[in-house]
Each structure stands twice: as structure tokens, then as C-alpha cells.
A and B are shown apart, each in its own frame.
Chain A
């Protein structure tokens, strides 16, 4: 795809996204907000998994840190929504810095396990610190100002915040830092030989990934109107993983497509049998891993590539 065609596609997509609230029912606007949040969470996660080759099993912690930071500052601190939302990535990044400092010292399985352990610590603290976090009951009535109360208004707001985050993530991936990260993923030893400080790059990636997960959490808190300890539970960490697997981790936009598929599927299945949803979620993972290692988007890309080379 040439740069021109890409620009045209981008402009068209943006136009459609802007006009959608005028034509589709409220329900779909709400679904789109959720898709955007999951897409950002998964893309932030993929900065680690797809680009850095690091799989975190406790990423829900940073989503929850962002959500709780925004909710607490707005509700108990009386901060205006924008300021509370701006604090979300800061708090999440601080958490990611603290935990990441230890986590990036390990690799592969041990990396995943330590991230899970820290994730569960965050969950337990949120769950047990009832005076601050409300414990199991969560924090209720975390609403945006009147201006943003309608689904359409919040949709546009989400589009701006998450659009900017995507733009920033894309810039990070395309920067020398992004390429260094890929080099580390492919061969840490060679990366070290050419003078890349491996651990520091991995820590930066971890912190950035945590910060953007925090933004997703903050946006979700005000959309949802409440925050709960479940946001930090290890099953929540599964969400970006499934989305990335669905969309394929090889491309920047894979998780976006994956988020779309994930949420639409969730909606379809929860409509007729909500209790089957985790079964499907698990089955999707098993099927993708056993049968479609490139994800659905990867599969389609390969098929498109085959068609193109066949028509030549």
C-alpha cells in the first residue's frame, strides 16, 4: 500500500468514525467506546508482546492503577475529570516502573510469572484497602462532567484521547527506540553487542506500555461510572492477550482489528448465552494457538498475499 492510499484509507476511516454517532443506535456507540478502550489496552500490551517479545500476565494491574487513580482523584480528591485522567497514565507508569524494574531482570516464563505475582499484589491491595478503594464494592458514581454525559459526547472524547494515544504509540514503534526493541526481541545478545542497553530499553517499554494501559483504564473508569477490583484480577490480564492473539501480534494495527472482533463476538455471544462467553474465549485461544498461529488478521493477510501473488 502506498503512502497516498494509506492516507486516503485513514481519512475515510476517520470520517466514518466521526459520522457514526449520527446514524447508528446508541448501543453501538457504547460498543465502539468499549472497542476503543480494549484496542488501546491491547496495543499497549502488544508494545511488549509483539515488539519487545515480553509477555506480561499481570497487565490488568496497570489498567486498574489508571482506572483507580482517575476515579479516586475525581471522586475523593475533587479533581476535574481532565486532570484526573491525565494522572492515570502517570500513576500507572510509576507502578510499572516500580514493578518493571524487577520484572525485566527475568526472561520468558519467569518474566510472565513475576508480572503475574505483582499483578496479584496490586489486586489484593485494591481488594483489601477498603477505606480508600471501597474494597469489593468498588467506587461508584465516577461520572464525567455534564458536557460529556451523553454516549455520543463521550464517544467523541474517547476518540480524541485514544486516537492521540494510538498516534503516540505508532510514533514510538516507528522511532529508533521501537527498532531497538525489535532488535532485542529478535536477538538480545546481538542487540547488546551493537551497544543497546537491553534492560533499560525493556524497562522503558514496560513503563510506556503500563502508561498507555493506564490511559485505557482511566477512559474506561469514566465511561463505566465505577471501578472494581476485578479490573486488576488476573483474568482481566487475559483480555489484551486474547485480543492480540486474535488480531495477530506481527502488525501494529492487529490488536485494533482484534479488539473489534473480540468485542463484537462478546456482544453476540453474551446476547444469547452470557455464561458461554468464557468457554468461547478459552476456545478461541486454544484454536488460535493450535491452528492459526498468525491470528485471524495474519491469516487474512497471508491469504490476500497468496491471492495477489497468484494473480500475477
Chain B
């Protein structure tokens, strides 16, 4: 124990640890929203959408613009939070119909490379539209302050994020397991050809799923906007972390994304305390180990 307290002086500081756990959870929440969308899109279309981080970034920038444009009102933040992800969903739908639909039958590598190309295009377009400077999104008045948790200050906006987490997770569960649309999505994940043969309009389903996955990324980006500097480059950061989450949890696995997002969120939160310099290396090392030992992820299924 003495060795531990010598190495990590914070280890006996209960309140600090509690706050750290909570901030890890809220980071995990953003990651979950992005990675579950990525995972969902992969499950149905078999495309790993590398532009998913770009959707997240676009949503954050849309928040900036929407809050500027909307009249100053108590509710304008919430209206922006509603509209920004919808804008991203539309963007995703357009990309699916315009580009991805043409290459579903092609080599998966080509699909991956195409979405990589989209990253470059979207980041340049964002630069052209919003300029190179960092932006910020103000938190809504009622959540601008902080609350004390075990005597430690904790930004109240994060409480919103933490409160939304179970709502979103349960909502997704209901959509996937209690609606006909969710059943179609799960069926498409298992056998797309058979679903088509049974008379389901698979092509429309793909577009819907892609737009829905984009909406989730957009919701993540819009929610995260008030907590970070809205900047070019956030696409790559989010993409890489979400990618790690998806790989660790298992591509196409809903529960896997949830577990792994929380895991990675906590790892980032505590990694900064334990190994400030190498927390990112640690993340990739864990991903590498998972890929080597269980390439299909912790909760995924091996492909036949």
C-alpha cells in the first residue's frame, strides 16, 4: 500500500477518484454514441465508415452556427441540439445514396479507402465554411455552473451527459429489440441476401441505417460541443478513439460498444493520472492485444 500511495498519491483521495470515474463515464458516453453508430453501420452494410469522426465534427460546428443564428432564447440551445444531429443524418443519407450505394458489391478495402477519402473532403469543406479558428459553444444557462460531488467541483453539464447515457442506451435497446425496424436491422446483420429475398427493401433500409448511424455520431458531436474546443482535427481524434472502442467491443455488437466505450472512457480518465505521457499508447496497445487474441472483439462474434 505504501508503494502504491508513493507512486500514485491520489489513490487515497476518494472524492478525486469519484469525480474521475464520473468524467470517465461522460467521455465514455460521447464515445458510445459515436461508436455505436459506427458499429451499427458496419453490422448492416459491412462498411467501416471512417468518416464517422467527421460527422461528429460537422455536428459540433453546426452547433456553433445554429446557436449564432437562432434568436437568443432559453430554449435555443436545446433546439440546436435537436437540429444539428438531424443535419448530420441528412448528410449521411446523401453520402450513402450518392456514393456508398454504388460500391456495396466491391472489395471491402475499396469501401474503406473511399470513406477515408471522405475524411479529407469533409475536413477541407469544414475549413472552408467555418474557417481555421477554434470555436466554442456556450453551455445552456441552467447547466453553466458546477455542482459539488464529495466536495469536489463537477461541471453540471456533465450531469446532463451522464443522465442522457442510460436514456440513449435504453432507447437504442427498445429500437433494436422492440420495433419492427430494429428487427429488420438485426436480420440484415445476420443475412442480408435472405432479407432481400423475403421482400424487404434492403436498399432503403441501408440508407436509413446509415442516416441513423450518422445521427448518433451527430448527437455525440452536438452534445460534446460545449465541453471541448470545436476545432478542425477533432474528426481524427474521435475517429481513432471510436475505432479503438469498436474494435475492442466487437464490430457490430451493441452491448460491446457500450462496455468498451465505458472502459475506454475510464482508461482515458485514469490514464492521464497514471501514465500522463503514454495513455494513448496504452489504448492502442490494448486494441492491438484484443485484435491479436480476439480479432472479433470482446463481445463480437467471429465471422465465418
Known: A121-B281, A238-B116. A109 touches B240 (CB 8 A): no
B120 within 8 A of A: yes
Which one of B110, B112, B128, B236 lies within 8 Å of A293 (CB-CB)? B110
| Chain A residues in 8 Å Cβ range of B113 | 55, 241, 245, 285, 289
- Which residues of B266-293 have CB atoms within 8 Å of chain A's CB atoms? 277-278, 280-281, 284-285, 287-288, 291-292
Q: Give chain A nearest CB distance to B221 CB in angstroms.
A: 20
In the complex, the chain A residue whose C-beta lies closest to that of B251 is A109
Please give the residue numbers on chain B whose beta carbons come within 8 Å of chain A beta carbons, in ascending order: 48, 99, 102-103, 106, 108-110, 112-114, 116-125, 127-128, 236, 240, 243-244, 247, 277-278, 280-281, 284-285, 287-288, 291-292, 295
In the complex, the chain B residue whose C-beta lies closest to that of A128 is B277
Q: Is the CB of B112 within 8 A of A286?
A: no
> How far is B240's CA from A185's CA once the two chains are assembled, in angstroms?
28
Q: Is the CB of A125 within 8 A of B117?
A: no
Q: Give chain A nearest CB distance to B212 CB in angstroms.
A: 22
A120 within 8 A of B: yes
Which of B99, B287, B291 gathers the greatest number of chain A CB atoms within 10 Å?
B291
| Chain A residues in 8 Å Cβ range of B125 | 279
Known: A102-B292, A285-B116. A112 touches B109 (CB 8 A): yes
Which one of A275, A281, A283, A285 lies within 8 Å of B128 (CB-CB)? A275
Q: Is the CB of A109 within 8 A of B281?
A: no
A306 within 8 A of B: no
> How far is B107's CA from A112's CA once the two chains are assembled, in angstroms?
13
> How far is B117's CA from A241's CA once the two chains are assembled, in angstroms?
10
In the complex, the chain A residue whose C-beta lies closest to that of B288 is A117
> How far is B244's CA from A102's CA once the two chains are assembled, in angstroms?
17
Q: Is the CB of A55 within 8 A of B109?
A: yes
> How far is B119's CA from A238's CA once the two chains are assembled, in angstroms?
11
Rank and list the top 8 A-B pairs by shortest CB-CB distance, nearest first.
A285-B117, A282-B120, A282-B121, A279-B124, A282-B117, A278-B120, A289-B114, A278-B124
Q: Give chain A nearest CB distance to B296 CB in angstroms.
A: 9
Number of interface residues of A (CB under 8 A): 37
Known: A278-B123, A289-B110, A289-B117. A113 touches B243 (CB 8 A): yes
Q: Is the CB of B285 within 8 A of A283?
A: no
Q: Is the CB of B291 within 8 A of A113?
A: yes
Q: Is the CB of A293 within 8 A of B288?
A: no
Bitwise interface map of A from 93 to 107 toward B, beta carbon under 8 Å scored 1, else 0: 000000000100110
Which one of A128, A238, A245, A285 lies within 8 Å of B278 (CB-CB)? A128
| Chain B residues in 8 Å Cβ range of A108 | 108-109
A267 within 8 A of B: no
> How far is B112's CA from A234's CA once the two chains are assembled, in angstroms?
14
In the complex, the chain B residue whose C-beta lies closest to that of A290 is B102
> How far is B123's CA from A282's CA once the two chains are assembled, in angstroms?
10
| Chain A residues in 8 Å Cβ range of B128 | 275, 279
A137 within 8 A of B: no
| Chain B residues in 8 Å Cβ range of A289 | 103, 106, 110, 113-114, 117
Q: Is the CB of B281 within 8 A of A279?
A: no
Which one of B112, B121, B288 lies within 8 Å of A102 (CB-CB)? B288
> How far is B286's CA from A117's CA once the two chains are assembled, in angstroms?
10
- Which residues of A69-123 have CB atoms within 8 Å of chain B's CB atoms? 102, 105-106, 108-110, 112-114, 116-118, 120-121
Q: Is the CB of A286 within 8 A of B117?
A: yes
Which one of B102, B240, B291 lies within 8 Å of A106 (CB-CB)? B291
| Chain B residues in 8 Å Cβ range of A293 | 106, 110
| Chain B residues in 8 Å Cβ range of A234 | 236, 240
Q: Is the CB of B240 within 8 A of A120?
A: yes
> How far is B292's CA from A125's CA once the two chains are assembled, in angstroms?
21
A157 within 8 A of B: no
A276 within 8 A of B: yes
| Chain B residues in 8 Å Cβ range of A275 | 124, 127-128
Q: Give chain A nearest CB distance to B164 CB in angstroms.
A: 29
| Chain B residues in 8 Å Cβ range of A9 | none
A270 within 8 A of B: no
A124 within 8 A of B: yes
Bitwise interface map of A from 289 to 301 toward B, beta carbon under 8 Å scored 1, else 0: 1100100000000
Which of A57, A109, A118 gathers the greatest number of chain B CB atoms within 10 Å?
A109
Known: A108-B109, A125-B281. A283 touches B117 (CB 8 A): yes
| Chain B residues in 8 Å Cβ range of A55 | 109, 112-113
| Chain A residues in 8 Å Cβ range of B127 | 275
Q: Give 10 A-B contacts (CB < 8 Å), ordered by A residue.
A: A108-B108, A114-B292, A120-B280, A124-B278, A124-B280, A128-B278, A275-B128, A282-B117, A285-B113, A286-B117
> How far is B155's CA from A22's CA once the two chains are assembled, in angstroms?
67
In the complex, the chain B residue whose C-beta lies closest to that of A237 is B116
Q: Is the CB of A106 within 8 A of B295?
A: yes
Q: Give chain A nearest CB distance to B8 CB in angstroms.
A: 20
Q: Give chain B nearest CB distance to A188 CB in angstroms.
A: 15
Q: Is the CB of B121 within 8 A of A121?
A: no
| Chain A residues in 8 Å Cβ range of B106 | 289, 293
| Chain A residues in 8 Å Cβ range of B109 | 55, 108-109, 112
Q: Is the CB of B116 within 8 A of A120?
A: no
Q: Give chain B nearest CB distance to A7 CB in angstroms.
A: 36
- Which residues of A239-295 have CB atoms within 8 Å of chain B's CB atoms? 241, 245, 275-276, 278-279, 281-286, 289-290, 293
In the complex, the chain A residue whose C-beta lies closest to that of B289 is A102
Q: Is the CB of A286 within 8 A of B99?
A: yes
| Chain B residues in 8 Å Cβ range of A102 | 288, 291-292
Q: Give chain B nearest CB distance to A291 CB in angstroms.
A: 9
| Chain A residues in 8 Å Cβ range of B123 | 278
